[in-house]
Amino acid sequence: MPNAINIALIPLLPFAGFLLLGLFGKKYFSKTAGLIGTLLLLISCLLAFQTAYEYFFVYGKVNGVYQQFVPLQFVWLQFSKTLSIDMGLMIDPISVVMLVVVTFVSLMVHIYSLGYMKGEARFPVYYSFLGLFSFSMLGLVLATNIFQIYIFWELVGVSSFLLIGFYYEKPSAVAASKKAFIVTRFADLGFLIGILILSYCSNTLSFAELIQRLTTPGSSELQTAAGYSFMGISALTWGAVLVFIGGAGKSAMFPLHIWLPDAMEGPTPVSALIHAATMVVAGVYLVARLFPVFAITTPEVLEGIGWVGAVSAIFAAIIACTQTDIKRVLAYSTMSQIGYMMFALGVSKYGGEEGLGYTASIFHLFTHAMFKALLFLGAGSVIHYVHSNEMKDMGGLRKYLPITHITFLIACLAIAGVPPLAGFFSKEEILLAAYQHNQAIYYIALITSGITAFYMFRLYFNIFWSKPYHPHGEHHGEGVFAMVLPLVLLAAGALFAGFIPFGTLVSSDGKPLESHFHLSFSIAPVALGLAGIFAALVMYKLKNDKPARVSASLGGLYTAAYHKFYIDELYLLITKKVLFNLVGRPAAWFDRNVVDGLVNFTGNVTLSVSEGIKKMQSGKVQQYGIYVLSTVIVLSVLFIYVW
Binding flag, residue 27, another protein (CB under 8 A): no
CB nearer another protein, residue 65 or residue 629? 629
Backbone angles phi, psi at 515, to 5 degrees: -85, 125
Please name the residues in contact with 52: beta carbons below 8 A apart, sequence gap of 6 or more: 96, 97, 99, 100
CB nearer another protein, residue 27 or residue 615? 615
Q: What is d(CA 482, CA 138) in angstroms, rounded to the nearest whole number?
A: 24
Distances (CA, A) of 618 to 14, 214, 627, 633: 76, 80, 12, 22
Amino acid found at 262:
D
CB nearer another protein, residue 595 or residue 607? 607
Binding flag, residue 625, another protein (CB under 8 A): yes
Here's the x/- map for another protein, 580-619, by CB under 8 A: it reads as ----------------------------------xx-xxx
Q: C-beta of 622: minimal distance to another protein in Å?
A: 5
Burial 547-561 (b: 16+ CB within 10 A, else e): beeebeeeeeebeeb
Segment lying near another protein (by CB under 8 A), choices 59-67, 277-285, 562-570, 634-642: 634-642
- For 233, the enclosing helix (H) or strand (E) is strand 233-234
Q: C-beta of 614: minimal distance to another protein in Å?
A: 5
CB nearer another protein, residue 559 or residue 630? 630
The reply to whether omega before 292 is within 30° of 0 (cis) is no
Among residues 226, 233, 633, 638, the one that binds another protein under rule CB under 8 A: 633
CB nearer another protein, residue 231 or residue 616? 616
Q: What is d(CA 188, CA 150) in angstroms, rounded to the nearest whole number?
A: 9
Among residues 121, 231, 640, 642, the one that binds another protein under rule CB under 8 A: 640
Query: Using alpha carbons only, what angle is made at residue 167 by residues 158 and 163, rounded to the nearest 5 degrees?
Result: 25
Q: C-beta of 643: minimal distance to another protein in Å?
A: 15
Q: C-beta of 623: minimal distance to another protein in Å?
A: 8
Here's the x/- map for another protein, 375-414, by CB under 8 A: it reads as ----------------------------------------
Q: If DSSP codes are grouped into helix, strand and coil, which group holds residue 234?
A: strand
CA 374 to centroid of chain Cα atoms: 18
Segment lying near another protein (by CB under 8 A), choices 130-138, 293-301, 464-472, 625-633: 625-633
CA 457 to centroid of chain Cα atoms: 26
Q: C-beta of 574: minimal distance to another protein in Å?
A: 58
Q: C-beta of 615: minimal distance to another protein in Å?
A: 8
Q: What is d(CA 149, CA 143) in angstroms, rounded to the nearest whole number?
A: 5
Kindly compute the dihedral angle of the four CA atoms of residues 185, 198, 291, 87, in this order, to the nearest 10 degrees.
70
Among residues 555, 621, 639, 643, the one that binds another protein under rule CB under 8 A: 621
CB nearer another protein, residue 545 or residue 611? 611
Among residues 620, 639, 642, 643, the one that binds another protein under rule CB under 8 A: 620
CB nearer another protein, residue 472 or residue 620? 620
CB nearer another protein, residue 602 or residue 618? 618
Find out whether 352 and 509 touch, Cβ atoms under 8 Å.
Answer: yes
Burial 479-503 (b: 16+ CB within 10 A, else e): beebbbbbbebbbebbbebbeeebb
Q: C-beta of 602: minimal distance to another protein in Å?
A: 22
Binding flag, residue 626, another protein (CB under 8 A): yes
Number of residues binding to another protein, judged by CB under 8 A: 18
Q: C-beta of 162: minimal distance to another protein in Å?
A: 59
Burial 112-130 (b: 16+ CB within 10 A, else e): bbbbbbeeeebbbbbbbbb
Q: C-beta of 606: minimal distance to another protein in Å?
A: 16
Q: C-beta of 168: minimal distance to another protein in Å?
A: 56
Segment lying near another protein (by CB under 8 A), choices 23-31, 356-364, 471-479, 621-629: 621-629
CB nearer another protein, residue 121 or residue 613? 613
Report the largest interatomic distance among the alpha carbons of the chain, rounded to a whole angstrom. Answer: 117
**Can you name the residues that pair with 69 across neighbouring β-strands?**
91
Q: What is d(CA 288, CA 282) in angstroms, rounded to the nearest whole number?
A: 10
Q: C-beta of 617: minimal distance to another protein in Å?
A: 5
DSSP 403-427: HHHHHHHHHHHHHHT-TTSHHHHHH
Amino acid found at 617:
Q
Instruction: Give the interface with another protein as residue ranges (CB under 8 A).
Output: 614-615, 617-623, 625-626, 629-630, 632-633, 636-637, 640
